[in-house]
Structure 1
Amino acid sequence: MRTRLSLFLLLSLLLFLSSCAVVLSWKKEEFRNCNQTPFCKRARSRKPGSSPFLAADVSISDGDLVAKLVPREPDPDQEDQEPPARPLALTLSAYRDGVMRVKIDEDYPPQESPHKRRFQVPDVIVSEFESKKLWLQRVSTERVGGDEGVSSIVYLSDEYEGVVRHDPFEVYVRERSSGDRVLSMNSHGLFDFEQLREKKEGEDWEERFRSHTDTRPYGPQSISFDVSFYGADFVYGIPERAASLALKPTRGPGIDHSEPYRLFNLDVFEYLHDSPFGLYGAIPFMISHGKARGTSGFFWLNAAEMQIDVLGEGWDADSGISLPSSQKRVDTFWMSEAGIVDAFFFIGPGPKDVVKQYVGVTGNPAMPQLFATAYHQCRWNYRDEEDVENVDAKFDEHDIPYDVLWLDIEHTDGKRYFTWDKVLFPHPEEMQRKLAAKGRHMVTIVDPHIKRDESYHIHKEASKNGYYVKDASGNDFEGWCWPGSSSYIDMLSPEIRSWWADKFSFENYVGSTPSLYIWNDMNEPSVFNGPELTMPRDALHYGGVEHRELHNANGYYFHMATSDGLLKRGNGNDRPFVLSRAFFPGSQRYGAVWTGDNTAEWDQLRVSVPMILTLGLTGLSFSGADVGGFFGNPEPELLVRWYQLGAYYPFFRAHAHQDTKRREPWLFGERNTELMRDAIRTRYMLLPFFYTLFREANVTGVPVVRPLWMEFPFDEATFDKDEAFMVGNSLLVQGIFTERAKHVSVYLPGKESWYDLRTGTAYLGSKTHKLEAPEDHVPAFQRAGTIIPRRDRFRRSTTQTVNDPYTLVIALNSSQTAEGELYIDDGKSFEFKHGAYIHRRFVFKGGKLTSLNMAPATSGNLPFKSECIIERIIILGHAGGPKNALIEPGNLKAQVEFGPLLLQGRSSSGVLTIRKPGIRIADDWTIKVL
């Protein structure tokens, strides 16, 4: 019996290892392309003008425009065209702030009770959005093209109106004054909606890929349509992919064998750069931008697999479709396997307007704790408590600040989450308390796959209560992941999410403390022996929802439940920190994301910039890439360059695979240690600036790091640039992406000058500069006309800086003016929501610097207080030599010097410096430079 058991265990281990082997690198054959994806292949084969619907019975009901999309006569030239089974219901709604919503679903008569309704994604649209609805009062009509076509028009705002064209069916937004279009759906007649129906005798609905079979019990149910962006030069968005910021055409003349951009959350090891292949997250939100019209956006709330074509110029040359020829446009084609049409048109007209409109629907980004915006040190895995203690001590020994130490899966008891390896981590609370005593925090990993072990309390409870996702037969779904045989918590259910959240209490998560935070990995979900390394599409969730219908939102619900768990533990007043690999619209409300399993290559460093910029454009402002690359062993130069660029990522974390060599910053020689320490210190110096930007993102949705065109929307030279980026509106950062680079070209947009962040040297705008590429930094420039707050004293963690003074760096423009902001709160709690914060606006004009209060008056709450002072004011570009400074109130004089700028021990060219003015950051005051 023992021999049989041993043989069984050996075979099981070999099976598990072979299953894991397939995920050790990206293998093209493991994943489907469009031709292997029937709904994508069918949709791409359709001809323009083949849409089988027209609009009828248009009216106003409950403040919305409603209509029936009724079948037209089948096109005799369209082969294998399945006529629609019944009319579709269309609802068009208008909202404040420039948003139009269009919903299309199957129209069921009141007496008909379908055996299945199509899935509509819950819990993404925020309740505040519905309160912005504009109740439409009337619909007007106009004829298009003589007496042949009729359109129904509704009021959206004083500037825009929505139009539903009846035949051929089309929906678009246009400017009221000019009639110019902004966005349109189905202008090329590609709309198709495969309806649920009863299976006919002899039909084979099963789909097969490699060794896997999808039963497809409800048959084909895909949706596709075209969307056009008018006045656009480029389109952006639809993460996640490792490709350029501006989306490249995937179909059209001269484009052969190109794949659509795929949105299907997958566990992809060592992904390729410059690829449209879908990675860990999916946000079906696209932004257009052009010099002619500005910016617009389109969002399709749908969690099924999606494929999107960007159509190259001339793709429709033979279609016979007539569109306004005077308007430049970008055409796109959207395809989804299931769901409904729930589409949002964002009118803009500016880049920040569109982002604000999108987060108005899906929610503003969470405000992180201060520590989370600092530097994180991670590895798969720190071996034991002694290793943790040694790494922590080495940071202090080498005078390198950090705030968070991370533990990967090996810290657990046999990959059982919420547990600790009793040999390697026998005293987890004491370990965390030692870090907390230095103001540092710990993050542990908690994944969605639960080890099927009857002695494991999480598995026992989930199995007993029916909390697992079910297979197509209704049994608990079983797949393979890190623990071996695993099942997956069904997070679609609110009851199950609440149960999961309770597991993070200090009583349930034994060994956790208030300084412990969480990392959600593998939540696409990753299933090593599943189709495409994920869950079968015919698996069943709460309410009978098929996995195909909600796949892309799986990680979103897991992220949500984990974040709620950290909110529920303790006193519930600390902001949670949860990092998630998988994401979906709305994920920004729950924490940070990162770009997954990248590789230690120069090209991967390069592609990290457009990846992070794209995430920011689509709401996920708190994002970053693994510094150094997760896979492989970076050469010291690459690692240093990655730290220098990563210091400007919103989420700044070094991470590495367990098979890589150790790469803490002190392991590459004294000079490289110095360079990495300087990079990390640059981040800590700029934390007041970054924290202020995180607050801006929290209030407006505008991302922390931005494409150049977001700040310079009329500068065409910026529209397709993604090697440089803006941090807020004040800093421009240019990466260095080649080995042994001696020079780097930097385009500085705008008419005003830019000041080198280290030397204060001024460079002209609207010009490309060829600069030296020194080893000690990547080029970074402060924009003329801005003021940046800093803290120049270096501590071992953010907790130590609470009472430190501030420095203001004023970069004057040609008018000798500048302005900027500083936001401060307690760095951890939700009291800021009740007015407990300091928000100052600094304005330099007419030789006078003024500090103005931007925080609203609070009632019933004590305002947040700070005794911190400003110890130095640096003025770049000041006309004239040494001056005097007079401080009001008090009629006090401050010391003024004209000399070098000192930054991290380096002197610069001459600037004006006001030393020790002694003014409090929270007060109103003015400083007059005489």
Structure 2
Amino acid sequence: MRLTLFVCLIIGALINYAAGVDPTNFKTCEQSSFCRRSRKVQSSGSKYALIRGTLNTYTDSVTADLINKENHHQFTMKLEALVGSTFRLQIDEKQPLRPRYRVEHALKGKPETAQIRVLESDELTITSGSAKAVIQGDPFRIDFYENDVHVVSVNAKNWLYFEHLRQKAQAPAGEAADGGDGAQQEQQEQNSDAVQSPSEPIDEPGTWEENFKSHHDTKPYGPQAVALDFSFPAAEMLFGIPEHADSFALKSTSGTDPYRLYNLDVFEYIVDSKMALYGSVPVLYGHGPQRTAGVYWQNAAETWVDIYTTETNVVSSLVNFVSGSRKSTPPAAHFISESGIVDAFIMLGPKPIDVFKQYAALTGTHELPQLFSLGYHQSRWNYNDERDVTSVSAKFDEYNMPMDTMWLDIEYTDGKRYFTWDKFKFPEPLTMIKNLTELGRHLVVIIDPHIKRDNAYFFHQDCTENGYYVKTREGNDYEGWCWPGSASYPDFFNPVVRDYYASQYHLSKFKTVTEDVMIWNDMNEPSVFNGPEITAPKDLVHYGNWEHRDVHNLYGHMHLMGTFAGLQQRDPNQRPFILSRAHFAGSQRYSAIWTGDNMADWTHLQHSTKMCLTEAVAGFSFCGADVGGFFGNPDAELLERWYQTGAFLPFFRAHAHIDTKRREPWLFPERTRQIIKSALLKRYSYLPLWYTSFYELEQTGEPVIRPLLTHYPLDKEAFAIDNQLLVQQRLLVRPVMQQGVSKVDVYFPAIDDKKNGDYWYDVDTYQRQERAGYESIPVDENKIPVWQRGGSIVPRKERQRRSSKLMLNDPYTLVICLDRQGKAAGTLFLDDEKSYAYRDGKHIYVSYEFADNQLTNRFIGKPQYKSEAWIERIIIAGLGHVPTPATITVNGISQQLEVEQRNGAIVVRKPAVKMDVDFALKLNN
């Protein structure tokens, strides 16, 4: 019977994977009772007021009590000032029947607080540096200012809603309600504030228990939703809250479902949709020409976000013009979570790059990855056996194409038992790994969180004997269904379980891998084939007696923490590489991500840039999409364009479903092979830029890829553009993502309100674009528009190798594109590309500047890394004249260098200066 059920579930899962997503398998707001109830507040208004006599002031914060004037329940409010123009607002019940969940492990550490000054009058004013918060008592509201500019309002719409914990009304006297205990009832009886008002929807369907399809949610603690609105008076658009297959600029949800944040396994997801996907990052930004601000809503429960964008109708515009008021209602967002507390960080900018850095200061950044992880990855579900892996690697060499990493999906294991190998298909894994390593390549293997329930499987035995699994409400090990069949799920919230799981990566236990094998964590939403919405039931119980509903969006994050710790313990000197599908705020500290189970379709290609741009501003720069699409079989043109696009996203991997045709590059006609090879070579030539960008991300929090508004905040035309991206502020990339086109429109952004623009140089021809606005750019099968900004210096490596590891000591080319003043600047970072030694200063970090026809370098910190690399070529575009031979001076010794003209630029050949040496290069007129 169990085997039959398993077979049916697996067949059903495969059929669903082939058929595409069925939206009816996932809830709408109307089907989520807490969302439905919280949304009703939008029409009625909430009734919360500050109890003024309860105010307490401290060096960095103020606290006070709030009251719900309808039912007289009381809450505590704390507003704390943080370093960097950021405030933290927390609201919790004053006397809850049981503690409410507060998110742990998302922040990189305890935020650094800042001193405040408090001025009491009719309103309460708190200042900290250039940041200010003004608290209104009744109705409760907080307005936030940056340099006296009003940028964020909290509860301006009076949509604050906080369902306090309560006993079920019909519980007999002396008996605790579902999920309670005697102590809780005693506390409830002593708490006069817990009296219920008849106006509260405590008996509305879905309040105390809820059904969805065949699944029943017991809701033992009853209703406990929290909701709050945020308005952005200085903004004209909102963006953020990944992960959704939607536009970068968030759309109004008026009359539709809100955006949903609830980690789910969704295959062949629908594009232009607000449906939840694999990750939930509750950070939102409001942007206008003068100010950008943000809100991070720290809550790991199911969350819905209503978006209200700027209204623009003729009548309202005329009325506002005559009255002298704002032209339109400011954009706003309404966050609605099923449980937890209000824990919101308000980040006041003022510029886009400032608010991105403020968010990074809270949740952290991805550490500098090993260089190989920025190269090209070859994957599919599944490479069949050792011979298949070896053959694919050899074919890349045969066709002279670079490739860094081979990937193995679930079929490499012994019956889906992780930390094991199929002994028939992979009898000598260490030999296979060694053969890859000797070629400068790596292997990544998948390890998912579902554990096969097999009494002969050591991992299951240990988890069962030690109580390491997530529990049902009755205290039993939860049993769900996933790829292994019957499976249970380790409770990674328990530090003992995380330590146990991390220990499995040690080479004394996982003996069939080496320290160079890296890890792919998939299905960690968690995916449960027979669970509600293909995930875990909400009334499961985790370590600390927390319900799964409280922590759902954190489960994958906790899985990553265990994996990261395991790889660090396995080899403390090597930086881990992990790819994860599920993610939450702060997961960027541990892993790269990808956009999940996409399709071989032009619309999914188009959404790869939209989704990764949104992830990047939410902390996840290390983002990519399965090249070619996971489902389906791309034709040659789609595959070509996808490689060209993927080459300019940070994570660059081809991956495909088990039922797709094999699509390694050499299986296509010569024309397609050459186009793919060209895209790969372009990617590898820019590895110095990608690597430097990730180092600077770790140091500053500035995203690697960026929307145009990041550096062109005044240009309203650029705000919503999401088919282009910036690599730092050095490259402008406009992938070709439409079928059969011979030209595309490229938008060159304006730097001011007079429509002046930067110079931009085509990276292939050095043709210069001088004005802002749209330009129709011809493209052919080999080309996508990529432009380097005038005023930037980009390091490249031009020698072709089979993998990035073999490029370590290859020489550099510096590409200098001059701005209108004939100047340019850029940086370059070098180290051993693998270890943590760079954190001890063993690196070279150099700044280059070109001005007055002279190139100089300046080291940022003393170079402590010895590199064998050198500069073999300097290309200068935009000079306007061809100089006579250049003079380079190193250690007081000067010599002449050849200068030649090529493709609209001048080339200084063979400077031959080492990377850790000061020099000056002078162009002679």
TM-score range, shorter chain: over 0.9
CA–CA separation in structure 2 for the residues paired with 1:36 and 1:797 = 51
CA shift in 2, pair 1:690/1:8, >3 Å: closer
Partner of 1:30: 25
CA–CA separation in structure 2 for the residues paired with 1:664 and 1:481 = 29
1:867 touches 1:922 (CA, 8 Å); kept in 2? no
Q: Which amino acid aligns with 2:915?
A: I
Matches within 5 A, 1:460-471: 460-471=461-472
Which of residues 62, 66, 70 in structure 1 aligns to 2:67? 70
1:104 touches 1:342 (CA, 8 Å); kept in 2? yes
1:100 touches 1:156 (CA, 8 Å); kept in 2? no
CA shift in 2, pair 1:636/1:580, >3 Å: same
CA–CA separation in structure 1 for the residues paired with 2:454 and 2:13 = 19
CA shift in 2, pair 1:475/1:411, >3 Å: same
CA–CA separation in structure 2 for the residues paired with 1:445 and 1:546 = 28
Q: Which amino acid aligns with 1:107?
A: K
Matches within 5 A, 1:92-111: 92-108=79-95
Partner of 1:651: 651
CA–CA separation in structure 1 for the residues paired with 2:150 and 2:526 = 40
1:89 touches 1:104 (CA, 8 Å); kept in 2? yes
Task: Determine helix, strand or coil for the equivalent of 1:329.
Answer: coil
Which segment drifts farther, 481-490 or 361-370? Answer: 361-370
Task: Determine helix, strand or coil for the equivalent of 1:639.
Answer: helix
Partner of 2:218: 215
Partner of 1:282: 280
CA shift in 2, pair 1:887/1:47, >3 Å: closer
Partner of 2:175: none
1:23 touches 1:528 (CA, 8 Å); kept in 2? no
Matched, 1:154 2:126: yes
Q: Which amino acid aligns with 1:43?
A: S
1:152 touches 1:165 (CA, 8 Å); kept in 2? yes
Partner of 1:492: 493
Partner of 1:605: 605
Deviation of 1:13 (Å) = 2.0
CA–CA separation in structure 2 for the residues paired with 1:12 and 1:657 = 21
Task: Determine helix, strand or coil for the equivalent of 1:666.
Answer: helix
Which of residues 751, 767, 770 in structure 1 aligns to 2:773? 767
CA-to-aligned-CA distance 1:804-854 (integer Å, 9 cap, x gap): 110000101121111111001110111111111101111000000001101
Q: Which amino acid aligns with 1:691?
A: Y
CA shift in 2, pair 1:314/1:637, >3 Å: closer
Matched, 1:912 2:911: no
- Structure 1 residue runs of 5 or longer lacking an equivalent are 1-6, 75-82, 109-113, 144-150, 901-908
CA–CA separation in structure 1 for the residues paired with 2:766 and 2:341 = 55
Matches within 5 A, 1:749-768: 749-750=749-750, 751-768=757-774
CA shift in 2, pair 1:217/1:87, >3 Å: same
Deviation of 1:22 (Å) = 3.9
Deviation of 1:456 (Å) = 0.3
Matched, 1:297 2:291: no
1:182 touches 1:296 (CA, 8 Å); kept in 2? yes
Partner of 1:905: none
Matched, 1:172 2:143: yes
Task: Determine helix, strand or coil for the equivalent of 1:642.
Answer: helix
Partner of 1:506: 507
Deviation of 1:897 (Å) = 3.1
Q: Which amino acid aligns with 2:489?
A: Y
Partner of 2:345: 344
Matched, 1:685 2:701: no
2:609 touches 2:722 (CA, 8 Å); kept in 1? yes
CA–CA separation in structure 1 for the residues paired with 2:404 and 2:146 = 50
Deviation of 1:342 (Å) = 0.7
CA shift in 2, pair 1:314/1:288, >3 Å: closer
CA–CA separation in structure 1 for the residues paired with 2:769 and 2:33 = 55
Partner of 1:122: 104
Task: Determine helix, strand or coil for the equivalent of 2:879.
Answer: coil
Task: Determine helix, strand or coil for the equivalent of 1:162.
Answer: strand
Task: Determine helix, strand or coil for the equivalent of 1:717.
Answer: helix
Task: Determine helix, strand or coil for the equivalent of 1:139.
Answer: strand
Matched, 1:846 2:825: no
CA–CA separation in structure 1 for the residues paired with 2:711 and 2:532 = 43
Which segment drifts farther, 180-189 or 209-218? Answer: 180-189
CA shift in 2, pair 1:893/1:642, >3 Å: same
Partner of 1:892: 894
CA shift in 2, pair 1:238/1:324, >3 Å: farther
Task: Determine helix, strand or coil for the equivalent of 2:65.
Answer: strand
TM score, norm. by length of structure 2: 0.92
Deviation of 1:867 (Å) = 2.5
CA–CA separation in structure 1 for the residues paired with 2:328 and 2:831 = 48
CA–CA separation in structure 1 for the residues paired with 2:679 and 2:341 = 48
CA–CA separation in structure 1 for the residues paired with 2:855 and 2:710 = 28
Partner of 1:472: 473
CA-to-aligned-CA distance 1:707-747 (integer Å, 9 cap, x gap): 01112111221101111110111100101111111111111
CA shift in 2, pair 1:175/1:709, >3 Å: closer
Matches within 5 A, 1:201-600: 201=170, 205-251=208-254, 256=255, 258-291=256-289, 293-313=290-310, 325=326, 329-570=330-571, 572-600=572-600
Q: Which amino acid aligns with 2:641?
A: R
CA–CA separation in structure 2 for the residues paired with 1:925 and 1:568 = 42
Matched, 1:792 2:798: yes
CA–CA separation in structure 1 for the residues paired with 2:785 and 2:12 = 46
Task: Determine helix, strand or coil for the equivalent of 2:563.
Answer: helix
CA–CA separation in structure 2 for the residues paired with 1:15 and 1:522 = 16
Task: Determine helix, strand or coil for the equivalent of 2:78.
Answer: strand
2:521 touches 2:579 (CA, 8 Å); kept in 1? yes
Q: Which amino acid aligns with 2:63?
A: V
CA–CA separation in structure 1 for the residues paired with 2:412 and 2:767 = 49
1:894 touches 1:915 (CA, 8 Å); kept in 2? no
Partner of 2:319: none
CA–CA separation in structure 2 for the residues paired with 1:806 and 1:160 = 44
Partner of 1:825: 831
CA-to-aligned-CA distance 1:491-549 (integer Å, 9 cap, x gap): 11111111110010011112010120000000000000000000000011001100000
Q: Which amino acid aligns with 1:921?
A: M
Which of residues 160, 173, 192 in structure 2 aligns to 1:191? 160
Deviation of 1:47 (Å) = 3.6
- Cα RMSD (Å) of the superposition? 1.9
Q: Which amino acid aligns with 2:82?
A: Y
Q: Which amino acid aligns with 1:537?
A: K
CA shift in 2, pair 1:324/1:338, >3 Å: farther
Partner of 1:79: none
1:894 touches 1:917 (CA, 8 Å); kept in 2? no
Partner of 2:783: 777
- Structure 2 residue runs of 5 or longer lacking an equivalent are 172-202, 317-322, 751-756
CA shift in 2, pair 1:15/1:274, >3 Å: closer
CA shift in 2, pair 1:655/1:200, >3 Å: same
Q: Which amino acid aligns with 1:278?
A: A
Partner of 1:720: 720
CA shift in 2, pair 1:63/1:893, >3 Å: closer
CA–CA separation in structure 2 for the residues paired with 1:557 and 1:779 = 40
CA–CA separation in structure 2 for the residues paired with 1:536 and 1:743 = 50
Deviation of 1:10 (Å) = 4.1
CA–CA separation in structure 2 for the residues paired with 1:313 and 1:355 = 23
CA–CA separation in structure 2 for the residues paired with 1:227 and 1:638 = 41
CA–CA separation in structure 1 for the residues paired with 2:14 and 2:885 = 69
Deviation of 1:323 (Å) = 13
CA–CA separation in structure 2 for the residues paired with 1:216 and 1:538 = 7
Task: Determine helix, strand or coil for the equivalent of 1:615.
Answer: helix
Deviation of 1:895 (Å) = 3.0
Partner of 2:3: 9
CA–CA separation in structure 1 for the residues paired with 2:896 and 2:97 = 79
CA-to-aligned-CA distance 1:94-118 (integer Å, 9 cap, x gap): 011111000001112xxxxx65210
1:896 touches 1:912 (CA, 8 Å); kept in 2? no
2:97 touches 2:166 (CA, 8 Å); kept in 1? no
CA–CA separation in structure 1 for the residues paired with 2:324 and 2:487 = 54
CA–CA separation in structure 2 for the residues paired with 1:881 and 1:843 = 20
TM score, norm. by length of structure 1: 0.92
Q: Which amino acid aligns with 1:606?
A: Q
1:283 touches 1:584 (CA, 8 Å); kept in 2? yes
Matched, 1:58 2:55: yes
2:311 touches 2:329 (CA, 8 Å); kept in 1? no
CA shift in 2, pair 1:276/1:612, >3 Å: same
CA–CA separation in structure 1 for the residues paired with 2:407 and 2:238 = 37
CA–CA separation in structure 1 for the residues paired with 2:826 and 2:279 = 34
